[in-house]
Each structure stands twice: as structure tokens, then as C-alpha cells.
Amino acid sequence: MPSEARQRLSDFEQAWVPRLNAPLAAAVKEDTTDARLADAMTYSLLAGGKRLRPLLTVATLTTVGGTFDEVRDWRPVMALELLHTYSLIHDDLPAMDNDPLRRGEPTNHMKFGAGMATLAGDGLLTLAFQWLTATELPATVQTALVSGLAHAAGPNGMVAGQARDIQSEHVDLPMAQLRTLHREKTGALLHYAVQAGLILGQVPQTQWSPYLRFADAFGLAFQIYDDILDVVATPAELGKATQKDAGEAKNTYPGKLGLTGANQALITTIADGQDALADLPADQDATLLAAFFSYFKTDRVQ
């Protein structure tokens, strides 16, 4: 079954990643008047990301029986990738994590300087919201997407999580506070990725609960796995420095639970997400969303 899930996800990625990527560079340059700024924005945007978040949106839309219209839906779906990329650029800056590598390549500020990198992030952030409304989608759908992404990315979500992360270095957080930090810093955008698929599919909010429970379990699993990889993976595998969390005295699942305990937390969290998918309507095929859990290899610590 795991190999079937991995194949299902691989087939989905092969079908959709080129389709999502193809218009990206031209679309960003079309909406950016300064050539150097456009280069800095597209440098990080095209640096080999998995497109996990827009893929989750498309997978959710597919699961609920919606259809993806290239003209109407591409920009709103890819807006999340713009925002995610902005967060990575800013996270790598000298004032934040001061990372020299991202996906095996120099980070944006190493190539363009800290000032231009900051502006590239600013440009991607604001362009994301422009793209949510550069569409023929109904105004109610546009409003719901803007509100959802603003909540997920702002001081109620990702930015709050980043603030907690900075403040908690060298502080031993209780597990409940660590879960809150991760839910905001990492989980909020993944939560929105699924939420956006529900909005685009015009699913009534009364039916959202199992999908969002899946999203939150996936977001937590993603962070736990990232923590584990920081310990067990090589820089070549991750395309960035490893062992940084311990060196910076950050709160992590391996740091609190050990590698074996963190791996068990990952397994339990995946099971929680699968339980949520079991509550989807009987006429919906949950196997595509379930296949996203094949991202996580629970044997990395053995």
C-alpha cells in the first residue's frame, strides 16, 4: 500500500508540477516593472520547489469533484506559492536564520544582496494577493481566498509562529506551546492550501471539518519530519545546512522526545490524518489526499 501511495503521488506530481510551473516566470515578469527585482523574485520562485502547497490545493479541488480552469484558477492557486517563497527568502536573511543555501543553491540574499532579497520577498507577498483577485472567480470566492490567506500568513498564523520561534530560542517550551508554534509557523499555510481547494470547489463550510483535520495533521507531520531530517539527513540531501536546530537551541521534536519518540509522534500524526480522511463523504475518493503522507519516511531513524 505505501508503494501504491507513492506511485499515486508521483503520477499526480508529474502531471501537475509542469502545468503549474510553465507560466510562472512570464507571469511574474509581466506583473513586475523592474527587471532586477523580477530576476530576484523568479530566482527563488524557480529554484526547484516541490509545489507541495498548490498541489494540495489542486488535490483537494479534485477530491471534492471540482475542475481546474487554467485561465480562471491558475493565478489564485499559485498565489500561495508566491507567498510561501517570500517566507523562505525572508527566513534565510541575515537578520533571521542567515542561511547561505536553499535547495542546494545560494540563497536570495547571497546572490542579490540583503536589500534586494527583502524587496523580492515583499514583491512576492503583495503579488500573491493581487493574483487572488486577478481572476474571473465570483467575488465571494475571491474574498474568501484573500481572507483565508491573510489569516494563515499574518499575525494570526505564519508570522506569529516565526515570532514565537525567535523568542523561544534557548527557552525550553512545553510541548503544548511547541505544537502552537508549529501550527502557526508551518501548519497554517498547509491548512490554507486545503482550505483554498474547498473554497474553489465551493464546498459548504459545514462540510470542511474532516478536510481541515487532515490538513492540520499533515502540517504537523511535515514539521516533525523536517525536525527529524535536520538530525539524520545530509546537507546534500536537503540542499541546505543540517544540525542547525540543535546548534541554535531551537525547540524540536527530536530535541524533546529523542529520534525514536519523534518518529513515533510522526507515525501517530499520520494516523490522525488518515482517520480524518476516513470521515470524508462516502462518494469521495480520499486516496489522492492520503497519498500525500507518502512524503514522510518513518524508517529514517532506524
Q: Quick: pLDDT tens for 248-294.
A: 667 899 999 999 999 999 999 999 999 999 999 999 999 999 999 99
pLDDT for the residue numbered 233: 87
Q: From CA 175, how far away is CA 95, in angstroms rounded?
A: 27
pLDDT in tens, 178-197: 999 999 999 999 999 999 99
Locate 170 and state its grid cell. 534557548
**Closest CA relative to residue 187, chosen from 154, 153, 220:** 220
One-character DSSP codes across 37-50: HHHHHHHHHTS---
Domain range summary for the chain, segments of one domain joined by +: 1-295
Work out the average pLDDT over 160-176: 92
Work out the widest C-alpha separation in the chain, in whole angstroms.
53
Check whether 300 has a pLDDT greater than 80.
Answer: no
CB 194 within 8 A of CB 148: no
φ/ψ (deg, to 5) at 133: -115, 0
Beta-carbon-side half-sphere exposure of residue 240 (alpha carbons within 13 Å)? 19
If pLDDT is split at 50, 70 and 90, which confidence band does 240 have?
Answer: low
Check whether 221 has a pLDDT greater than 90.
Answer: yes
pLDDT for the residue numbered 249: 67
Q: Which fold has domain 1-295?
A: Farnesyl Diphosphate Synthase (1.10.600)
CB 218 within 8 A of CB 293: yes
pLDDT for the residue numbered 241: 66
83 or 169: whose pLDDT is higher?
83
Q: Is this model's pTM higher than 0.85 or not?
A: yes
CB 137 within 8 A of CB 76: yes
φ/ψ (deg, to 5) at 240: -160, 170
pLDDT in tens, 95-129: 999 999 998 899 999 999 999 999 999 999 999 99
pLDDT for the residue numbered 252: 92
Q: From CA 29, how far away is CA 32, in angstroms rounded?
A: 5
